[in-house]
Amino acid sequence: MRWFFLIAAMLVPLAGQAAASPCLTRGTGDMGIIIERAAGSLQVVDTTAHSELFRVEGLGDLSHASAVYSRDARYAYIFGRDGGLSKVDLLCGTLVKRVVQGGNSIGGAISQDGRLIAVSNYEPGGVKVFSAESLELLADIPATRLPGGKGSKTVGLVDAPEQRFVFGLYDTGEIWIADLTDPKAPRLQRFKDIGRQPYDGLITPDGRYYIAGLFGEDGLALLDLWHPERGPSRILNHYGRGKKQLPVYKMPHLEGWAVAGDRAFLPAIGLHEILVVNRDGWQPAGRIQVHGQPVFVMARPDGRQIWVNFAFPNNDTIQVIDTETLKIIKTLKPGKGALHMEFTPRGEEVWISIRDLDQVKIYDTRTLEQTASLPADKPSGIFFTSRAHKTGL
């Protein structure tokens, strides 16, 4: 009997700790985050229940924030515009750690094995690599220096197979591959003269091809990561020839590109067009006239539809394109500031942030009708945990 009371006494504090813990005991497969850009906060959400689970504050400047996930999809790593790198625990709704690693950051990536977090910087330029566990700095890769000593802005950072990261150098017209097999001694491959001002980059879902969009000229640069020794090649050269270039109100986001079957769909800079490209040979296969300057061009996971949003002043509109006919099948008007779209893992829904209405609206992708909404403070990026298992996201 004495042993019974002793064991019971030991268990009471443990039970009290469990009751006090805010952490959830559940899977993370149907969870995600919504960035609240103006408040420097995010919501952790349940995509099945269409509900907020937690709100995490103190994340700094999130005006151009993006996120990646740990392999177990428990932790989100947030890249803030102020150079902040934040690790957030989704099950506890807590900020685990935050480091300010640069002066102006433009995104990041997680390595193939999930152990490394890489961050690309406008200021001071270059890429820094951290431990995903502790956020300890493991590698500092400075960019090519400009006259005066400042490093080139780095852009379009993605993870690639074989423990590599790939990124562009905006000011010097380069693409670099960084092999981080040994994070203490990165091995670099540098490709120069790839085109003027690579502003963003993407990698195909199979991890083979890296494509950099060029702001300084018509066209894109393509690098085959199976055969990097062949160097970059140009695709869609002079796609804007003969067309009146419009003021660019917001740069297209190539990481929101779309692949459907044997074709890719990309936003055209300064044009009201979607570029259609055959992946076999990367040759042009057509153009789709759309409502405005496209920002994100995203495919439903089954590739049957393309959803497109637009830069100011047309940022109250979303258009849906049938990938078989290349026809617009629906024009939606969800509200001003439709900034970001995210499909649920199997594509039955798409969540759209509507910044100026302080809402996230949810649409059924079969009926193309709105089915739900969530309040959010000036929402922008939406990132679901299914990204944890996809290359380049």
Residues 298, 257: Cα–Cα separation, whole Å: 5
- Can you list the residues of the chain whose pLDDT is less than 70? 1-21, 240-253, 255-256
Number of domains into which the chain is organized:
2
Residue 31 lies in a domain: no
Q: Which pLDDT value is given to residue 293?
A: 92
Are 277 and 336 found together in one domain?
Answer: yes
C-alpha torsion sign, points 132, 134, 137, 139: negative
Residue that is last in its domain, among 238, 267, 286: 238
Residue 325 lies in a domain: yes
Are 334 and 263 found together in one domain?
Answer: yes
* pLDDT tens digits, 16-33: 333 445 899 999 999 999
Are 263 and 219 found together in one domain?
Answer: no
Q: Which pLDDT value is given to residue 218?
A: 82
Are the beta carbons of 56 and 95 closer than 8 angstroms? yes
Residue that is last in its domain, among 238, 264, 285: 238
Residues 212, 202: Cα–Cα separation, whole Å: 7
* pLDDT tens digits, 298-336: 999 999 999 999 999 999 999 999 999 999 999 999 999
Q: Which pLDDT value is given to residue 290?
A: 97
Are 58 and 185 found together in one domain?
Answer: yes
CATH number where 175 lies? 2.140.10.20
CATH number where 265 lies? 2.130.10.10
Q: Which pLDDT value is given to residue 244?
A: 53
Are 312 and 345 found together in one domain?
Answer: yes
Q: Which pLDDT value is given to residue 393?
A: 85
Residue 247 lies in a domain: no
Q: Which pLDDT value is given to residue 13?
A: 40
* pLDDT tens digits, 346-369: 999 999 999 999 999 999 999 999
Q: Which pLDDT value is given to residue 240?
A: 66
Q: Which pLDDT value is given to residue 19?
A: 40
Are the beta carbons of 373 and 363 closer than 8 angstroms? no
Q: Measure Cα distances from 370 to 144, 284, 292, 361, 364 in Å.
A: 48, 34, 22, 7, 6
What does the longest C-alpha to C-alpha distance in the chain come to? 92
Are 201 and 262 found together in one domain?
Answer: no
Residue 130 lies in a domain: yes
Are 92 and 154 found together in one domain?
Answer: yes
Residue 157 lies in a domain: yes
Residues 210, 201: Cα–Cα separation, whole Å: 7
Q: Which pLDDT value is given to residue 255?
A: 67
Are 220 and 273 found together in one domain?
Answer: no
Residue 200 lies in a domain: yes
Residue 12 lies in a domain: no
Query: What number of other Cβ atoms are within 10 A of residue 251's Cβ?
Result: 17
Are 121 and 223 found together in one domain?
Answer: yes
Q: Which pLDDT value is given to residue 338?
A: 97
Are 223 and 346 found together in one domain?
Answer: no
Show Cβ contacts of residue 359 under 8 Å, excluding neighbours closer than 6 positions: 335, 373, 374, 375, 376, 379
Residue 228 lies in a domain: yes
- In terms of Cβ atoms closer than 10 Å to its own Cβ (0-12, 13-18, 19+), residue 114 is middle
Q: The domain containing residue 111 runs over which residues? A: 52-238
3-state SS, one letter per residue, for the chain: CHHHHHHHHHHHHHHHHHHHCCCCCCCCCCEEEEEECCCCEEEEEECCCCEEEEEECCCCCCCCCEEEECCCCCEEEEECCCCEEEEEECCCCEEEEEEECCCEEEEEEECCCCCEEEEEEEECCCEEEEECCCCCEEEEECCCECCCCCECCEEEEEEECCCEEEEEECCCCEEEEEECCCCCCCEEEEECCCCCCEEEEEECCCCCEEEEEECCCCCEEEEECCCHHHCCEEECCCCCCCCCCCCCCCCCCHHHCEEECCEEEEECCCCCEEEEEECCCCEEEEEEECCCCEEEEEECCCCCEEEEEECCCCCCCEEEEECCCCEEEEEECCCCCEEEEEECCCCCEEEEEEHHHCEEEEEECCCCCEEEEEECCCEEEEEEHHHHHCCCC
Are 226 and 314 found together in one domain?
Answer: no
Q: Which pLDDT value is given to residue 18?
A: 38
Are 197 and 157 found together in one domain?
Answer: yes
